[in-house]
Amino acid sequence: MATHGRSVRKRTGGRLRPHRDTRKAEEGRQAAETQIGEPRFKIIDAQGRNRKVRALATNEVLLADDGETYASEITSVIENPANPNYVRRNIVTKGALIETPDGVARVTSRPGQTGQVCAVLVDD
- Kindly state whether residue 67 falls inside one of the protein's structural domains: yes
- Kindly state whether residue 13 falls inside one of the protein's structural domains: no
φ and ψ of 58, to 5 deg: -160, 155
- Kindly state whether residue 15 falls inside one of the protein's structural domains: no
The pTM of the whole model exceeds 0.75? yes
- Kindly state whether residue 73 falls inside one of the protein's structural domains: yes
pLDDT of residue 54: 94
- Kindly state whether residue 44 falls inside one of the protein's structural domains: yes
Mean pLDDT of 99-120: 95
pLDDT of residue 27: 81
pLDDT of residue 3: 80
- Kindly state whether residue 101 falls inside one of the protein's structural domains: yes
Domain span including residue 45: 30-121
Tally the domains of the chain. Answer: 1
pLDDT of residue 26: 80
- Kindly state whether residue 5 falls inside one of the protein's structural domains: no
pLDDT of residue 68: 93
Q: Tell me the pLDDT of the chain averaged across its residues.
A: 91
pLDDT of residue 1: 56
Is-contact 105 98, C-beta < 8 A? Answer: yes
Mean pLDDT of 54-67: 94
Per-residue pLDDT band at 23 (split at 50, 70, 90): confident
- Kindly state whether residue 50 falls inside one of the protein's structural domains: yes
pLDDT in tens, 29-41: 888 999 999 999 9
Is-contact 46 24, C-beta < 8 A? Answer: no
Sign of torsion over alpha carbons 35, 68, 100, 94 = negative
Is-contact 99 76, C-beta < 8 A? Answer: yes
CATH of the domain at 85: 3.10.290.70
